Amino acid sequence: MNGYPRPMSIYFASGICLLTTCAFLVLCHAGKAGAGRLYSFVDESGVVHFSNVPTDPRYTSDTFRGTLPYINSKKRPRNLAEFEKIISRAASRYGLDPNLIKAIIHTESGGIPGVRSSRGAVGLMQLMPDTASNLAVSDPSDPKTNIWAGTKYLSQLLKQFRGDLILALAAYNAGPGTVKEYGGIPPYPETMEYLQRVLRQWQRYRGE
């Protein structure tokens, strides 16, 4: 993956999510992913539009910082400062923006190292048992191990989906097989909400 990100737009509305202008490439140099800003606007139908290239005059970066529909998190995220060095090193190793990894941790676990989901996902980046096994992770509840493994897994998904960050994130949530089955973002409310939350938190962390 190299060069500059191509325009990416996502539309969320009434349980329908469409990916247009598909390739949102992640920059692998200097530990950055998708340099620049993310923008959004809500149209007259209540559809939320996201893009890294504001081709429509309605796009603003301020809207993206606001409350988006379909988001109802019960988690109260901890301060991720204690994991800052681990996140930075793992992100640098795999050519990703550390703020993106923080956004995933924020969304997945709320920064609680030993949290376990009803589906069996464990730790800060909520590794499923099969994923942890494939990554040779013996203790997914260990913060350092979990962050390194989760970051590596995301980098693998990015390669699998040819640098398309949105599809990689959808695969992180719903599984790569599901993304392939639907030929794009699965029409699951959970996955659509997940994408919104990660993108929103990524923008917030980048703005700090």
Q: For residue 75, with 0-12 CB atoms within 10 Å meaning exposed, 13-18 middle and 19 or more buried, which class applies?
A: middle
**Residue 147: inside a domain, yes or no?**
yes
pLDDT, tens digit (0-9, with 9 covering 90-100), for 93-116: 999 999 999 999 999 999 999 899
Q: Please tell me whether residues 90 and 190 are part of one structural domain.
A: yes
**Residue 145: inside a domain, yes or no?**
yes
**Residue 2: inside a domain, yes or no?**
no
Q: What is the pLDDT of residue 52?
A: 56
Q: What is the pLDDT of residue 124?
A: 95
**Residue 176: inside a domain, yes or no?**
yes
pLDDT band at 171 (very low <50, low <70, confident <90, very high): very high
Q: Please tell me whether residues 49 and 90 are part of one structural domain.
A: no
CATH of the domain at 152: 1.10.530.10
pLDDT, tens digit (0-9, with 9 covering 90-100), for 173-203: 999 999 999 988 888 888 888 988 898 889 8
For residues 58 and 33, give the distance between their C-alpha atoms in angstroms, rounded to a whole number: 24
Q: Please tell me whether residues 110 and 40 are part of one structural domain.
A: no
Q: Please tell me whether residues 158 and 92 are part of one structural domain.
A: yes
Residue 170 has pLDDT above 80, yes or no: yes
**Residue 73: inside a domain, yes or no?**
no
Q: Please tell me whether residues 20 and 57 are part of one structural domain.
A: yes
Of 25, 5, 28, 40, residue with least CA distance to 204:
40
Q: Please tell me whether residues 55 and 85 are part of one structural domain.
A: no
When mean pLDDT is compared over 20-29, 79-88, 148-157, the highest value belongs to: 148-157
Q: Please tell me whether residues 40 and 113 are part of one structural domain.
A: no
Would you please indicate which residues are annotated as catalytic (active-site) residues? 108
**Residue 70: inside a domain, yes or no?**
no
Q: Please tell me whether residues 17 and 94 are part of one structural domain.
A: no
Q: Please tell me whether residues 15 and 89 are part of one structural domain.
A: no
pLDDT, tens digit (0-9, with 9 covering 90-100), for 46-62: 555 666 567 778 777 64
Residue 75 has pLDDT above 50, yes or no: no
What's the domain count of the chain? Answer: 2
Q: Please tell me whether residues 57 and 130 are part of one structural domain.
A: no
pLDDT, tens digit (0-9, with 9 covering 90-100), for 126-146: 999 999 999 999 999 999 999
Identify the residue with better confidence: 179 or 65: 179
DSSP 86: H
Q: What is the pLDDT of residue 59?
A: 72
Contact 39/7 with Cβ under 8 angstroms? no
Q: Please tell me whether residues 100 and 199 are part of one structural domain.
A: yes
Q: Please tell me whether residues 141 and 181 are part of one structural domain.
A: yes
**Residue 4: inside a domain, yes or no?**
no
Domain boundary, last residue among 64, 92, 109: 64
Is the pTM higher than 0.95? The answer reads no
Domain, as residue range, for 117: 80-207
Within a 10 A sphere around the Cβ of 124, how many other Cβ atoms? 33
**Residue 163: inside a domain, yes or no?**
yes
